[in-house]
Amino acid sequence: MSLIAFDFDGTLSDSEMTVLLAERAGVTDEVAEITERAMNDDIGYAESLYRRAELLEGLSAVDVEDAFDAVRIRPGAARLIERLREAGHHVAVLTGGFERGVEAALAREGVAVDTIVANRLPTGPDGALTGEAEGPLIEGTKDDALGDLAAEVGGPMTETVAVGDGANDLPMLEVAGLAVGFVPKSAVRPVCDSVVASMYRLGKVLEAHGVLADAE
C-alpha cells in the first residue's frame, strides 16, 4: 500500500474555492492578485490566506453554500481515485483550500477519499463568514502533513506519491517518493519527477511507476 496525496484547488479540481467565494463577494480581482502572488511564492501562503479571508468577511450563508456547491473535480479524477483505493492505496487530499468545498465536490461525483486535511472559514451566528481562517494547513506545511499521515498509515516516505501545482505544494513534493506536477507553476516544476496535464496522463504515470496496474 502507498499513500497518495493530492492537492485540491488547481490539481484534483479545476475550481479555485477562494475565487468562487470572491466572485460572490465582489472582490475577484483583489483575491486573484493575492492568489497569484502566493502560487508563485512571492508571499507566504499563510499571509495570503489570511488576507483573502479578510476580503470575504460578511459573505452570506447562502452565497457561501452556493460557492462550495460550484466546486468540481476534474474529468477522470473520480475514476482515478476509485482505482487507487481499489488497489489498496490510502488516498488523501492535503489542501490549503476548504473542507466544505472538497467534501461537496467529492460527494457530487459519488467518490470518497480516506483522509482530508484542509482549512476552514469560520462563520458567525448568522452563517456569514467572519473574515477569519483556521486549520492545519495555514501555518502548517504539507511536508509535515504528509509525514504525519505516512506514519499513521504505516508506510515509508519512499512509497508516498504527491501531486500538486503551486508553491504551497513544494514541501510535500520535495519529500515524497514520487512527485508529480499537475500543470505546475514555474517555481514548482524543477522538483517534479513527472509533469502531467490531465487525470488520464496522471494514471499513465502511476501505471509506469507500478502504483497502478495497467488499465485494461
The residues carrying an active-site annotation are 7, 9
What's the CA angle centered on 172, arms 71 and 213, to 5 degrees? 75
CA dihedral defined by 107, 39, 160, 94, rounded to 10 degrees? -30
Sorted by sequence, the CB contacts under 8 Å of residue 8 that are 6+ apart come out as 93, 95, 97, 101, 102, 118
Nearest-10 crossing angle of helices 61-69, 99-108: 50
Distance, in Å, from the CA atom of 155 to the CA atom of 206, rounded to the nearest integer, reads 17
